[in-house]
Each structure stands twice: as C-alpha cells, then as structure tokens.
Structure 1
Amino acid sequence: MKPVALSEVARAIGARMCGAKGGEQVRGAAVDSRVVRGGELFFALRGRLDGADFASDACARGAVAAVADRPLEVPTLVVDDPLWALQELARWSLRRETSATVVGITGTVGKTTTKDALATILRSGGRKITATEGNLNNEIGLPLTVLNAAPDTEVLVLEMGATHPGDIAFLCGIARPRVGILTAISPVHLDSFGSLEKLAETKGELARSLPEDGAFVSPVGVPEAAVGGGRSFGLHITFGEDEADLWASGVAETEEGLRFTVHAGGESAEVHAPVHGTHLVRPLLAATGGALALGMSLEDCARGLSRLRRTGLRGDLLRLRDDILLYDDSYNASPAAMAAVLRYGARRASSSGRRLVAVLGGMFELGPGAREYHREAGRLAGEVGVDLLVCVGEEARWYAEAFPGEKILCESAEEAAERLPQLLRPGDYVLVKGSRGVRLDTLTARLKESLSVV
C-alpha cells in the first residue's frame, strides 16, 4: 500500500486513537509480531492466543501502532473487531489505489500453481506485481496481501480459498477483482459444502463478482453454477481439451520438466516448464489464460513458464541416495489431485523400470463420502501398479481396504519416517501425498536428511 497517515487510517476503520501520533506513516500490516517490519500496523487478532499479548513485541520491532479491541500499553487504534478492521482497511486501500488490476484465483485444486505461474509470466514480461505468498488465501491472508503490496504494483494476483458457502463472495467484496480464474471443480471440503453442486455455486461467486467488462478464465466441462450461472463477461477464455479456447498438445515429461505446445486463437508456442507432473498442465493453461486476458502474448506466456518455480512441497522431484527418486507433493490432497498424482507417478515409475512406492496420507474434509473417496484412491493405486502402499493416519486405513497389493499402515508421519528407510530399495520411485494435517512434509524432510539429497 502507498504510505498513509495513521490518523487517516483511523478514520477509514472508525478507530479511536489511544496514545498514538496521527502523523506517523503506515506502510503495511501484520498479525504476527515475529515478522513485523517498520511502518506496519499490528492487528491484535483473537484466536487460540490473544494478539494483544504480543503488541509490545510488535511495536518494539517497528510497528507504528496496534489495532485492538481495547486500549493497550502501546499506541493503539481501538476498534470493536480487529479482524473486521483489517478487512475494511484492505477494502479502503484498494478504493484509494485504483491503478492496480486485481486478479482473483479460485478452484478446488491448482490454485497455488496457477498463482505462481501467472506471477512468473507477468514478472518475466516486465509487469510489477504482488501475489499471495504461499497459500495465504483466506479472510486474514488476502487483506494482508493487499495491504503489503508494493506501492507501484500494477497487477495484484490473489488466491482465494473457501471452506463454506459465501467465502469467495466475501473475499471478492474486499478485493473487487476485474479478472477471475477458476482452476477446477472437484470434491473438497464436502463436510462444509454438503455437495459438489453447492461447492460449484460457491466457487462461482468469483464469476458473479466480476464487472460486466471483466475477464474470466475457466476450464471446459465444469458445472454452469461455477461460471456464474450463464452470465456474460467482456472476455471469457476456456481451457482444457482441444474444443477450448486454450489447450495443450504433445505433452511430455523430461528430466528438466514439462514440455508441450500451447494453442490459442490460431497461434501456438512451445513451452519448456521446469516443473514435474503432467497433471500440472491444466493449472499452467489457467495461468496462461489469465496472462492473455491481461494483454500478454502467447510467446510471452511460454517464455515466462520457462522460469517457473512453484511454492514448495507441490511436486518437487529429488534424487536421494541409492538412486531413489522422491516426488514430494505433500502439501495437501483431494480426490482429484490424488488420482492425478497416482497416475503420473505410475507413468514415471513404469517408464524408467522403477518400483513404485506410494506414501499416502488421509484426505480431510470430505464429508459422509470420505470412506468411499479413499477406497477409490486405494483401488486406483492397485490399478496403476503401485508396488508398495504406505498408508499414514486414521483415514488412510480406507486406502488399504481397497488396495490389493502389499501395504503397510502407520499411525503417524513420524512412524512412517522411522519405518520407510528400511523398506526402500535402490532405484525406487517414492510418491508422497496427503492432506496438510497428516504432516507428511515432516516425513519427506526426514527422508531427505536420512537418505541425503543428491
């Protein structure tokens, strides 16, 4: 955000100033006292801990004031609800700074990859951009990204997540995107949404929030509700198969990463992206669609994708000791993403004659159908040729119920990390995927340490 006087911020969020000097300049926001930078506001949110208890530390690190629900011993902007104030300040900031184009990205899988790819394409084309860090895509992370954007930002790329109906509409009410990207619709968070149809309606809130002259990018074949229920846009780009506006041909995997030809509007370009996993082609197409909507050429997109670096734990391919290959996709999981990664791993292992070891953690928030979704993945693991299935966590026992081959059940990632090195053989291909709560990233970290990354 552009620097603004503390007194003006107080007026914007309806705050009462206590012990604060109104002339100090605000340059950003934080909710974690450990990462506060000079010139930022510290929002004392209540959660498992009370942020007010850390306000003194935040101000010692350079925060100009705290925003809290009561006066504190440090300069304070007193409001009824600090979280609402954080969100309202982000709304106000975007109304005040109208030069940046806001891009909203949502979907059930592929959001972060799409965000990373779009940001890389735009940066490589000389655009000044700010993008969501990691996956800070909720009611706290999104306003923080807005408020911490560089003052000269031209494009603001915002990932938008949802766990309940109305979440996307709420985030769009803060960000007011002009370009929207829908990555996919597949079963996730069904314990909150109740059905795939309701989930599609929620993701469709992005499309419905766009202005009439806005641009929308979406995959072919998704429910009508997900694309705004039939509403029109200034520009609508579809991606996926060859009947779409944007599609890929000649997809191949090499040691260096993905290669394919991207097609759009009668033009084509060769893409050499340094990422692993053919299932990533669709989010790369989604990012390409977003870049085209922002005026980039197809050649610009291909050139940008050649510089792509993804957020960690999403398809990292590492060579360990004894020529063991580790495909680390441990960040999160859903049924569609699990199926895609299993098929990909099977192709890679088979093509190189390697034994395939799949280490799968449970998939969370799937509602009443959770057992059957896991059993489907277990059956698929057998069909594609997984040689050894390591099931981690309570839900993962359902994989084992349907998997016909050799399998091992571990109660935790820690147990799996202890047992796995003794189970692996030279030349194995090890695939790791599961929901974030299973903490399979701790397992992959242990493997990298015990088997020495080469």
Structure 2
Amino acid sequence: MKIQDLHSAFLANPSISTDTRKIKENDIFFALKGENFNGNTYAKKALDSGASLVIIDEEKYFIDERTILVDDVLTALQQLANFHRKQSKARVISLTGSNGKTTTKELINVVLSTSYKTIATKGNLNNHIGVPLTLLTIKPDTEIAIVEMGANHLKEIEFLCKIAEPDFGYITNFGKAHLEGFGGVEGVIKGKSELYNYLTNNNKSIFLNADDPIQLEKLSSYTKKYGFSTINPKYYHIELMNAQPFVNLMVEKVEINTNLIGAYNFTNCCAAVIIGKYFNIEVPSIKLALENYTPDNNRSQLINNKSHYIILDAYNANPSSMKVAIENFNSLEKTNKILILGDMFELGNSAKEEHQAIVDLTEKLNFETVILVGENFHKTSANSQQMKSFNELKAFLKTNPIKTNSTILIKGSRGMALERVLEII
C-alpha cells in the first residue's frame, strides 16, 4: 500500500494504537516489534478488540482485507507521520536538550494555547516512535504543534527532524545526560545541535537562551534567531526575581509568580515567554498561563504535608540536573534539610567519577542528612548513609524515621523510582 493510501485510511479513522491493551474502537493498530515482543502476533487480537486496520510486516499474520502488509511497520509509521505533517498547515516547534525538555514543552503549550489551537507531545513520548505518534495527533484545525525530541546517541535528533520537519526550534541546554551513548559532553553538544543544523540549513527560526555561551557561539552568525537574556541588551530582557522556593520572574515590568520550584526552572519559563511573544501573545496572557500551570509526574513537585516539606524530583536525573537541584535546595531558606538521592543512569565510563562529584558536592554543602541509594552511589567514598537498593532504604527509614518538620529533596533516575519513598515517610 502506498503511503498516500494509508494516509487516506488514517484520515477516515485518525487514531493510532501500538498496544492492544489500550485499543479503542476503529483504531489503526501498528504491530511494532521490540526486544521482547512481536506486535505481529497481536494482529488478530487487535481486530477482535475493535481495530479498523492492522499494519503488519510478517505475511504469516495476514488475516483479511483489514490487514495491511508493509516492509517494516516502524518505517511505515514514521513515513505516515511525515506525510501527515506535510499535509498539515500547522507550524511545528521542536525542542530538545539535556534537562527540562518536558517542563518547557508543557509551558510553551499552555502559553500558546491561550491564542492558538495546539497539540503537544504527551508525557515524554519523544523518541523514534513517540515523535511520529505526536505528529499523527495533528488535527485539521491545529495551528501549532509542539514536538519534544529526546536522544541518547548521535544522529537521532537529525533523524527525528527529517520526520517532523520543524519550522522552529529550541534547545533547553547542553548537560551531562546520556554520556554513555553520546561518548561524553562534546558528543552531547554535537548531538543536540543537530536540531540547530536542520533549522539553519533550512532557513528556519530558532529560539535561544542568550545567556548560554554555547548557544550564543553556535548561532553567532545566524540571523533568524529570537532570544532572551538577563544581561545581554541585544535580546529580550527577563529578570529572575527569586526562587524561594517558587520561580518569580519579571517581564516588561509585570511580575509572574509560578508554581515551579527551583531557579533551574527560570530558563524554562523564559523559553515559553519568548516563544509566546514571537507569536504575538500579550504579557498578561502569558502571566496567567504560567501562573496557572502546576507541575506533576514527579517533576519538581512540592508536597507540603503535616510532617515534612518535600520536593519530589524523581522523574529523572543526570549529573547536570542533580547538581542544580542540590544547589537550589541548598539555597532554600529552610532548616533540617535532608537529601535522598538515587543513582544516575546511562553514564558509561563516567559513572564512578560523576557519582563521586555529587557526593563531594553534598559534603561541601553540609546538609543535615544525606542518604544515597543505588549501586553507583554505594561505590563512592562518602560520609553519608549508603544503600545498595531501595529495599535497603525502606528498611533503614522504617528503623530510622526522618524527624518531623524536615525539608526533603528526593531525586534520582527514573529506574530508581524514588517516589516510592513517599509511602514510607
């Protein structure tokens, strides 16, 4: 089947499923493969569950005219998404970066949706499957699509750009994330900059943090750029008022009081402001959108219960985000500060060095208590409590309960699932 014909079928039933457990009536089921599963084997189940079509790439699973055989299901999904994007009048904003992608995407979306019909990546579906699925949610009346792009190795952002063909782009930052796949910080910068390369090569517009020397240098000669800065008069001025604990910023003499914890969220807010301004949204509307946004999904969530003041930032972690979270936590005007930190993953040969650097930082800042969890933190030289696993942490906290009225930062990589600490404390 030609991609045009598949697209016509999609327009008749514009809902995609890749999981038969979540299938809805008239969904088109794409039988994707993974390391431990073969979606082709679920073709009949998908049809029995109400799918209008199933897309397979193994002929032995063909059932009837509702079954479409292609060379490769994933490639067909990506080609369909690109074709759909080309047919749409929506403008596409893509963003990537080491830290803050998902929060920034959410902030951009709440600002732009005050004046435009928007769609945005759900959660962090930002890879070679998530980006196509996001693009396929573009509706006929969609005016702006905000597409998050994640990567853990070189050429991945370049590939995602070929699918999404963004009109605009923004990179949150270049940090120590996925060092194993990128081969070090220079690899991270090169990999994330693939978004810049696509945009500049195609004469598209770029939003930038002009206080970031890497972004400023890479875009020094490019003219279609729109940036924000706290110090550079050439760019749109935004001022950080404070972050005790919530980020307050000043935009055109209007103070915006957000529900976002940590000075590290300041630039995420700034990106939403400058993009909103570019799309002619007035500051009062930007203010209302940012002030009404409340983070969730374990990202810098404030939990103020009767016993403790907790900052839950357990969605993910890398050396850069861990460092700024700890430094921000240290700056809070609170007492009895306790850190519960989990391992950072995908660091490769840098794991030992980066975990020790975090330990050294915590000891330099002299917190009340530091609890380190995971195999990597357990191997460090530390004066802190060290646990190999969450089960050890659970046993420790049951016999050594945290004293009342403590201020607690919980942060670790997704695989550590440290939000489970809440059930104990």
| TM-score normalized by the length of structure 1 | 0.85
**Residue 22 (structure 1) shift:** 6.5
* Partner secondary structure for residue 147 of structure 2: strand
1:291-341 Cα distance to aligned partner (Å, 9 max, x none) = 22333233332221111132411111112342x111100010111111111
**Residue 230 (structure 1) shift:** 5.1
Root mean square deviation, CA, Å:
2.5
1:22-56 Cα distance to aligned partner (Å, 9 max, x none) = 79923121211222233321111111211122233
Query: 1:26 maps to what in 2?
Result: 13
* Partner secondary structure for residue 104 of structure 1: strand
- Taking the aligned partners of 1:13 and 1:240, their CA distance within structure 2 comes to 48
**Of 2, 18, 22, which residue of structure 2 is paired with 1:11?**
2
Structure 2 unaligned segments of length 5 or more: list them: none
**Residue 383 (structure 1) shift:** 2.1
Letter in 1 for 2:164: A
Contact 1:200–1:223 (CA under 8 A) maintained in structure 2? no
**1:260-279 correspondence runs (5 A):** 260-262=249-251, 267-279=252-264
Give yes or no for the alignment of 1:104 onto 2:91.
no
Query: 1:55 maps to what in 2?
Result: 43
Query: 1:202 maps to what in 2?
Result: 191
Query: 1:38 maps to what in 2?
Result: 25
1:370-408 Cα distance to aligned partner (Å, 9 max, x none) = 22211111111122232211111111125x51x44xx22
Change (3 A) 1:144 1:80: same
Change (3 A) 1:272 1:424: same
Contact 2:314–2:411 (CA under 8 A) maintained in structure 1? yes
* Partner secondary structure for residue 33 of structure 2: coil
Query: 1:356 maps to what in 2?
Result: 337
Contact 2:249–2:255 (CA under 8 A) maintained in structure 1? yes
Query: 2:309 maps to what in 1?
Result: 325
- Taking the aligned partners of 1:373 and 1:185, their CA distance within structure 2 comes to 16
Change (3 A) 1:129 1:388: same
- Taking the aligned partners of 1:253 and 1:35, their CA distance within structure 2 comes to 41
**Residue 344 (structure 1) shift:** 1.7
**1:373-384 correspondence runs (5 A):** 373-384=354-365
Contact 2:208–2:227 (CA under 8 A) maintained in structure 1? yes
**Of 306, 310, 316, which residue of structure 1 is paired with 2:295?**
310
| TM-score normalized by the length of structure 2 | 0.91
Query: 1:411 maps to what in 2?
Result: 388
Query: 2:119 maps to what in 1?
Result: 130
**Of 106, 110, 134, which residue of structure 2 is paired with 1:120?**
110
Change (3 A) 1:410 1:130: same
Contact 1:414–1:442 (CA under 8 A) maintained in structure 2? no
**Residue 288 (structure 1) shift:** 1.8
**Residue 126 (structure 1) shift:** 2.8
- Taking the aligned partners of 1:311 and 1:201, their CA distance within structure 2 comes to 31
- Taking the aligned partners of 1:233 and 1:59, their CA distance within structure 2 comes to 52
Give yes or no for the alignment of 1:289 onto 2:274.
yes
Structure 1 unaligned segments of length 5 or more: list them: 1-9, 16-20
Q: Name the stretch that deviates more: 286-295 or 131-140.
A: 286-295
1:170-199 Cα distance to aligned partner (Å, 9 max, x none) = 111011111101100111111111132222
- Taking the aligned partners of 2:198 and 2:10, their CA distance within structure 1 comes to 36
**Of 408, 412, 415, which residue of structure 2 is paired with 1:434?**
412
- Taking the aligned partners of 2:116 and 2:415, their CA distance within structure 1 comes to 36
Seq. identity, %: 28
- Taking the aligned partners of 1:226 and 1:79, their CA distance within structure 2 comes to 45
**Residue 228 (structure 1) shift:** 5.3
Contact 1:235–1:293 (CA under 8 A) maintained in structure 2? no
**Residue 117 (structure 1) shift:** 0.5
Change (3 A) 1:24 1:131: closer
Change (3 A) 1:389 1:244: farther
**Of 241, 244, 249, which residue of structure 2 is paired with 1:251?**
241
- Taking the aligned partners of 1:223 and 1:253, their CA distance within structure 2 comes to 23
- Taking the aligned partners of 1:22 and 1:346, their CA distance within structure 2 comes to 56
Q: Name the stretch that deviates more: 423-432 or 31-40.
A: 31-40
**Of 133, 142, 148, which residue of structure 2 is paired with 1:159?**
148
- Taking the aligned partners of 2:347 and 2:339, their CA distance within structure 1 comes to 21
Change (3 A) 1:372 1:234: same
- Taking the aligned partners of 2:71 and 2:366, their CA distance within structure 1 comes to 57
Contact 1:179–1:290 (CA under 8 A) maintained in structure 2? no
- Taking the aligned partners of 1:343 and 1:419, their CA distance within structure 2 comes to 26
1:136-193 Cα distance to aligned partner (Å, 9 max, x none) = 1000011011112333211100110111111111111011111101100111111111
**1:56-71 correspondence runs (5 A):** 56-71=44-59
Change (3 A) 1:250 1:26: closer
* Partner secondary structure for residue 173 of structure 2: coil
Query: 2:134 maps to what in 1?
Result: 145
Letter in 2 for 1:245: Y
Letter in 1 for 2:17: A
Q: Name the stretch that deviates more: 367-376 or 326-335.
A: 367-376
